[in-house]
């Protein structure tokens, strides 16, 4: 009798264990602004990396850049968490000397030029707690227009390590050189 009770109890526990979702992992739906990374050099065959940017990619979805990144206001250079940029060597960021390390990447959009900002504060959500006193470097770069429209905000590097920010037809180029 004890063996039957034991087997019955064990059977019920097994049925409950394998038929309930209480042990199943819940996965979130795909983020509307997925994370991405851009690096220079981008080839895995290169011996060293110079720079890597981790950011989220907001999409226009019928909105204008100006409504998402108002002129004259600090923007997190992407969506969700503030974008971060890591330099693996000391660099010239535009015309500013910057030591190797990880920094948050902010921008201040303008009609004819954008200010690109490196800041010591990392691991922050958006630009809500941005503190200008912790800026490492500020570089002003002209706004240009590309031929193709990009729905999602994108960052890429060319063969000279110039970092491009692109969205819709807006293009911003920031030169980066190893010191």
The more confident residue out of 107 and 47 is 107
Question: Residue 132 pLDDT > 70, yes or no?
Answer: yes
Closest CA to 78 of 119, 139, 33: 33
Residue-wise pLDDT tens digits, 35-46: 888 888 877 666
- Residues 6 or more apart from 107 whose CB is under 8 A from it? 69, 74, 75, 77, 114, 115, 116, 117, 165, 172
Residue-wise pLDDT tens digits, 60-103: 999 998 889 889 999 999 999 899 999 999 999 999 999 999 99
Do the domain assignments include residue 148?
A: yes
Tokens at residue 76, please?
């997190």
Do the domain assignments include residue 15?
A: no
Do the domain assignments include residue 22?
A: no
Do the domain assignments include residue 10?
A: no
**Per-chain mean pLDDT for the chain:** 87
Across 7-21, 121-135, 149-163, which has the greatest mean pLDDT? 149-163
Average pLDDT of the residues in 103-118: 96
Do the domain assignments include residue 68?
A: yes
Do the domain assignments include residue 147?
A: yes
Which domain does 88 fall in, by range? 27-178
């Amino acid at each position: 009798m004890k063996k039957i009770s034991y087997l019955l109890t064990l059977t019920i526990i097994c049925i409950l264990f394998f038929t309930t979702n209480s042990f199943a992992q819940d996965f979130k739906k795909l983020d509307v602004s997925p994370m991405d990374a851009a690096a220079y050099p981008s080839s895995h065959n290169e011996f060293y990396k110079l720079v890597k940017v981790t950011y989220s990619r907001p999409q226009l979805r019928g909105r204008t850049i100006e409504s998402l990144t108002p002129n004259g206001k600090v923007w997190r250079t992407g969506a969700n968490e503030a974008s971060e940029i890591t330099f693996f060597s000391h660099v010239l960021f535009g015309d500013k000397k910057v030591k190797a390390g990880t920094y948050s990447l902010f921008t201040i959009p303008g009609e004819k030029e954008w200010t690109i900002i490196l800041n010591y504060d990392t691991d922050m959500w958006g630009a809500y707690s941005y503190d200008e006193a912790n800026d490492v470097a500020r570089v002003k770069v002209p706004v240009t227009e590309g031929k193709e429209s990009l729905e999602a905000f994108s960052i890429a590097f060319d063969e000279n390590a110039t970092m491009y920010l692109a969205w819709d037809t807006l293009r911003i180029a920031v030169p980066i050189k190893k010191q």
